Amino acid sequence: MRARRRRAIGAAARPISTADRRGGRPGARVRVGPTFPGAPVLEGSRHALPRASRGRSSIGTVTDVETAAPLRVLVGEDDVLLREGVVRVLTDAGFDVVAQAGDADDLLRKGLAHGPDVAVVDVRMPPWNGDDGLRAALALRRARPQTGILVLSQFYEEDYALELIGERPQGIGYLLKERVGDVETFADAVARVAAGGSALDPEVVGRMLGRRGGSDPLDELSPREREVLGAMAEGKSNHGIARALCISEASVEKHITRIFTKLGLGPKPDEHRRVLAALTYLRNARAPR
């Protein structure tokens, strides 16, 4: 009787194994979803995640756990309250804020020292409170092209946006500061820029469209195609464009195909046609009426 009782107690106290919890073999891999909107996944899985190193679990079996390494962010903003607010929003969204800077010199220094995936930067920063933040961001981009740059501005300044985009709009974003309040949109823009995409404020794109005129490559586009191209310039995906314009994704794909054809953007293995189309749009949208 005592032996039977000891065996029963031992069975009840035995730790639950990975196989017990998942109904599979011990040591089965556990997948963890992205920690931020638009996070990247391992090939063949539901999410795009970096692979973690193997480790020993608390129950003594070796478990290969895949976790998302948070995107590393540098925040440059001289207004302390706003900077703390941006950091809080990013941290809550799952980003890793590796450094903060209150002036342009410190921003560049920390950007080079920490090597972040993306820098979120105010245009106007000390020491001169002009476009020092933008200058530091451009210098960081030249030194570390792999670091994405998302510039925040209090007001719409077209020249700043165009200078930032330059000849290589990959990994570049320009948003008005008021967009920080829309947490989901802001976090998505940061993740997109870090991944090499673009994120332009809808108001910036809208004003550029309003200033467009004269003869240019965009004259061949229909009004709907210009709307689709404008949404592409904001950095929206096909799904995002479809939602914004209240059309199907199939229609979006057809419009994009026609846009590429009319702009003479044939498929090339070393070029990203969406980015080139957006760049064409932005270059020609600045022409005065």
pLDDT of residue 260: 87
Contact 32, 65 (CB under 8 A): yes
| CA dihedral over 124, 210, 263, 239, signed as positive or negative | positive
Q: pLDDT tens for residues 171-185?
A: 889 899 988 989 998
CATH topology agreement for domains 72-200 and 206-285: yes
pTM higher than 0.75? no
Q: How many Å apart are CA 35 and CA 71, to the nearest integer?
A: 9
> If we measure between CA atoms, which residue out of 71, 131, 145, 138 comes closest to residue 108?
138
Q: What's the gap between Cα 192 and its chain centre?
A: 2
At residue 111, does pLDDT exceed 80? yes
CA-CA distance, 184 to 42, in Å (whole number)?
A: 23
Which of 1.20.1250.20, 3.40.50.2300, 3.40.50.300, 3.40.50.460 would CATH assign to domain 206-285?
3.40.50.2300
Q: What is the pLDDT of residue 127?
A: 94
Q: Which residues contact 209 (CB under 8 A, 6 or more apart)?
A: 226, 230, 285
| Domain regions of the chain by residue span | 2-66, 72-200, 206-285
Q: What percent of the chain has pLDDT over 90?
A: 38
**Mean pLDDT, residues 111-136:** 94
Can you identify the CATH homologous superfamily of domain 72-200?
A: Response regulator (3.40.50.2300)
Are the CB atoms for 155 and 124 separated by under 8 Å?
no
Question: What band does 58 get if pLDDT is binned at 50, 70 and 90?
Answer: very low
User: Residue 263 — pLDDT band, cuts 50, 70, 90?
Assistant: confident
How far is residue 180 from each of residues 31, 43, 128, 155, 212, measured CA to CA in Å? 30, 32, 25, 14, 28
Closest CA to 151 of 184, 125, 114, 126: 125
